[in-house]
Amino acid sequence: MDFASYWQYSDLVTKSLFFILLLLSIGSWVIGVIRVIQSQKLSGYVASDLAGHIQQKQSAMKGLDISARRLATEQALLQQIGRYRYTSERGLPILGTTAAIAPFIGLFGTVWGIFHALHNIGMSGQAGLGQVAGPVGEALIMTGFGIAVAIPAVVFYNLSMRINRKVMFFANDRAHELLAGTVEVVKETSVAAKAPLAASAQESVMTATNYSSSVSQS
């Protein structure tokens, strides 16, 4: 039972389904390998990239009070994390769709192939086991082909989702650290700015007290 023997029993519909599954298989392998590699790279630099992005935003936040600065930082972090999520999920719908529909395409190809084979047997008038087993068995190849296409797509999809969850964990963890650090910097800046004013006020009070004492003694 070789490929040439199978191909002679197939018609236009079966051949079309075969090429559809072949394209889905090639696409799932290419997209799956690229997606896993890119997601793995993203998990390695997402924390440092997020910190660098927020650091660039800090210059535009100077002069804001603590609440406004915290809000601006939160919006910048959410926007950047959303971009990471979009980047990490590119290609996943194709893998998920391939994993879902490939077995059914193969099953439809099998049903159609069996119908086509039995129709040919009926037209020829030979209905022995030898005449039925070959075409029907070769039609079942489509089911196996559909499963063979779906399994790598499922593996790549689950592996990519696992790496993407790690990417989002690193991004969210770093975002909380950056947000807490921004609030602490704002507080320290406010305290440092108020310290000279407090010292100046205290000096003014002491001067006024000394002046009042000198006047009283006079």
What is the arithmetic mean of pLDDT over 49-62? 76
pLDDT score of 134? 63
Residue that has been written with the tokens 């006079």 in this structure: 218
Q: Which residue has the higher pLDDT, 136 or 103?
A: 103
Q: Where are the domains of the chain?
A: 3-193
pLDDT score of 77? 84
Closest CA to 77 of 199, 206, 177: 177
Residue 205 confidence (pLDDT) above 50: no
Q: Which residue has the higher pLDDT, 96 or 199?
A: 96
Residue 198 confidence (pLDDT) above 50: no
The structure's pTM equals: 0.72
Residue 155 confidence (pLDDT) above 90: yes
Contacts 24+ apart (CB under 8 A), 10-13: 10/113, 10/116, 11/116, 13/109, 13/112, 13/116
pLDDT score of 147? 93
What is the arithmetic mean of pLDDT over 69-89? 85
Q: Mind listing the pLDDT tens digit for each residue in 124-149?
A: 666 666 566 666 777 788 888 999 99
